[in-house]
Amino acid sequence: MSQIGIPKGTRDFGPEVMVRRNYIFSIIRKCFERYGYLPLETPSMENLSTLTGKYGEEGDQLIFKVLNNGDYLKDADDAALSQRDARKLSFSICDRALRYDLTVPFARFVVMNKNGLVLPFKRYQIQPVWRADRPQKGRYREFYQCDADVVGSDSLVNEVELIQIFDDVLTELGLSNFSIKINNRKLLTGLAALIGASERMMDMTIAIDKLDKVGLEGVEKELLDKGFNASQLEIIRKVLSIEGGISEKLETMEALLSSVDVAKKGLEELKYIFSRVEKVGVKKAKVELDLTLARGLNYYTGAIFEVKVNDVQMGSICGGGRYDDLTGIFGWPGMSGVGISFGADRIYDVMNELKLFPEELGATTKVLFTNFGENEELFILPLLRKVREAGIAAEIYPSAVKLGKQFKYADDKKIPWVATIGESEMANNTIALKDLKSGQQEVLTIDQLITKLSSN
């Protein structure tokens, strides 16, 4: 047994997987560009201080830290070292960390470049992120996020368009049974205020976020454990029991929460978003108002989104929301932003499970020229150049092995055409072109071959 391997939660992507991944990425990228977003890349590493405190306590612990170079113990925290307090110690021996998401590095970029940006600034970013989580189904330690964010605009038109992007991309990828769940953090803030537990809003939201998993009773139990009292539970239960369509839910919430200004604002925002989405229409998405949606990331303040595929056992494949003051932490307050993120790896897993990848993605090389020897090689090389210049992916088998082996290579690599040139073809200036799928073979000139393969 060999001992080589790769770190837990990471993966190699072989050619056939990469072809499919690129298919996903290209559809997402094209859609982002159709909506006016521009590309951005940031470094894999950020300063540790840039990342800490943005993802909640739980999130901070999942940040991969990078050990300093050189004599990194020189500045180590002596107290932490002697107490073997690894967490505390890490801050004195790690100045950098791998990025945990794309939104925070984006906010950092915006602040650093505030003088040169055209506002509102719309960017997209497709890069890997790292989380020191324990891997399981659909959860990796290195995975790709595909983000689109806009900062410098309060307009809810952005929210509406981002919902359209979810719908456009996932529909184009062939998904049909998925739900875009929408909520607004302001409602949760308002609810917490109403029951007099503003400072414990996170505890509350984390508990009610589990409604579909543990049921109403489970949620109430968790809330009780966390010290909420009966009258508080009463109100929360009312909210969680709200049923019906989007407008009914909104009306009921209004009746419950209209005394709280924040909540009122949140309800107005939601109404606006839903009415516009309805007006513009969706392709395949089911747009839902999910009052239990909370989302763990600390920085969200307004609308929040999550996308789930309904017929596959898998966590959410996309997320997003509005954050009013993410740039404020880096010294530029008042810049509201909103963004979404596609989890490419989960989308890949879902599409794989549902067999949604098109068949023909595998074929890259279109035609293989067989190799009989040096004379033929000399004859073929110029032809090959001509074929490639016509935009046709072509290759020559690099050595003159048995013909059967060369055909098998084409077959294994799913190359659809094989061009054979031997003595008689050279004499007549022709090519024997075989269609591996049908088994048919015909004799063509080079120009006929190019015409044929260009139109296929």
- Per the CB < 8 A criterion, the answer to whether 205 and 56 are in contact is no
Chain-centroid distance of CA 431 in Å reads 46
Of 117 and 432, CB closest to RNA: 432
The torsion region of residue 426 among left (phi > 0), alpha (psi -120 to 50) and beta comes to: alpha
Q: Which of 33, 41, 278, 411 is the binder for RNA (CB under 7 A)?
A: 411
Taking CB under 7 A as the binding criterion, the range among 73-81, 130-138, 156-164, 248-256 that sits at the site for RNA is 130-138
Which of 383, 360, 379 is closest to 437 using CA atoms?
Answer: 360
Q: How far is the CB of 245 from RNA (least distance, A)?
A: 25
CB burial of residue 330 (10 Å; 0-12, 13-18, 19+): middle
CA 318, CA 259: separation in Å to the nearest integer? 33
CA 324 – CA 300 distance, rounded (Å) = 7
Q: Choose which of 201, 315, 325, 328 interacts with RNA (CB under 7 A).
A: 315
145 binding RNA? (CB under 7 A): yes
Query: How many other β-carbons are positioned within 10 Å of the β-carbon of residue 121?
Result: 22
Q: CA–CA separation, 187 vs 236, rounded Å?
A: 12
Do 148 and 339 meet the contact criterion of CB atoms below 8 Å apart?
Answer: yes
3-class secondary structure, 193: helix
| By CB under 7 A, residue 434 contacts RNA | yes
The secondary structure element, H or E, covering residue 214 is: helix 211-225
CA distance 325 to 310: 33
Phi and psi at 333, nearest 5°, equal: -75, 160
Binding track, positions 373-402, relative to RNA; x by CB under 7 A: -----------------------------x
Q: How far is the CB of 54 from RNA (least distance, A)?
A: 12
Q: Which stretch binds RNA (CB under 7 A): 108-116, 188-196, 266-274, 314-322?
A: 314-322
The answer to whether the CB of 63 falls within 8 A of the CB of 100 is yes
Nearer to RNA, 245 or 373 (CB): 373
Amino acid identity at 229: N
| Total residues binding RNA (CB under 7 A) | 62
Q: How far is the CB of 242 from RNA (least distance, A)?
A: 22
Tell whether residue 247 is a contact of RNA (CB under 7 A).
Answer: no
Are the CB atoms for 205 and 337 separated by under 8 Å?
no
Q: Which residue has the tokens 């009463």?
A: 234
Kindly write out the interface string for residues 39-68 of this chain, putting x where it contacts RNA by CB under 7 A and - elsewhere. -----------------x-xx--x------
Contact call for residues 98 and 66 (beta carbons, < 8 A): yes
The least distance separating RNA from the CB of residue 11, rounded to whole angstroms, comes to: 8
Separation between Cα atoms, residue 248 and residue 416, nearest integer Å: 57
Q: Does 343 bind RNA (CB under 7 A)?
A: yes
Task: Note whether 122 binds RNA by CB under 7 A.
Answer: no
147 binds RNA, rule: CB under 7 A: no
CB 28 within 8 A of CB 102: no
Does 363 bind RNA (CB under 7 A)? Our answer is: no
Query: Does the protein bind RNA through residue 407 (CB under 7 A)?
Result: yes
Q: Which is nearer to RNA, 5 or 281 (CB)?
A: 5
In terms of CB distance, is 256 or 307 closer to RNA? 307
Residue placing its CB nearer to RNA in the complex, 260 or 295? 295
Residue 296 contacts RNA per CB under 7 A: yes
Distance CA(244)–CA(252), nearest Å, equals 10
Q: Using the rule CB under 7 A, is 26 a contact of RNA? A: no
**14 belongs to the binding site for RNA (CB under 7 A):** no
Min separation Cβ 165 and RNA, Å? 15
C-alpha to C-alpha distance for 448 and 441, rounded to whole angstroms: 14
Shortest distance in whole angstroms from residue 94 CB to RNA: 17
Regarding 436 and contact with RNA (CB under 7 A), the answer is yes
447 binds RNA (CB under 7 A): no
In terms of CB distance, is 256 or 302 closer to RNA? 302
Q: Is 105 in the site for RNA (CB under 7 A)?
A: no
Does 437 contact RNA by CB under 7 A?
Answer: yes
412 binds RNA (CB under 7 A): yes
For position 99 contacting RNA by CB under 7 A, the verdict is no
Q: Which of 65, 62, 26, 22 is nearest to 44 (CA)?
A: 65
3-state secondary structure of 166: helix
In this chain, which stretch among 2-10, 270-278, 328-336, 356-364 interacts with RNA, using CB under 7 A? Answer: 2-10
For RNA, the binding residues (CB under 7 A) are 1, 5, 8-9, 56, 58-59, 62, 101, 131, 133-141, 143, 145, 206, 209-210, 213-214, 294-297, 306, 313, 315-319, 341, 343, 345-346, 402-405, 407-408, 410-412, 418, 420, 422-425, 432, 434, 436-437, 439, 441
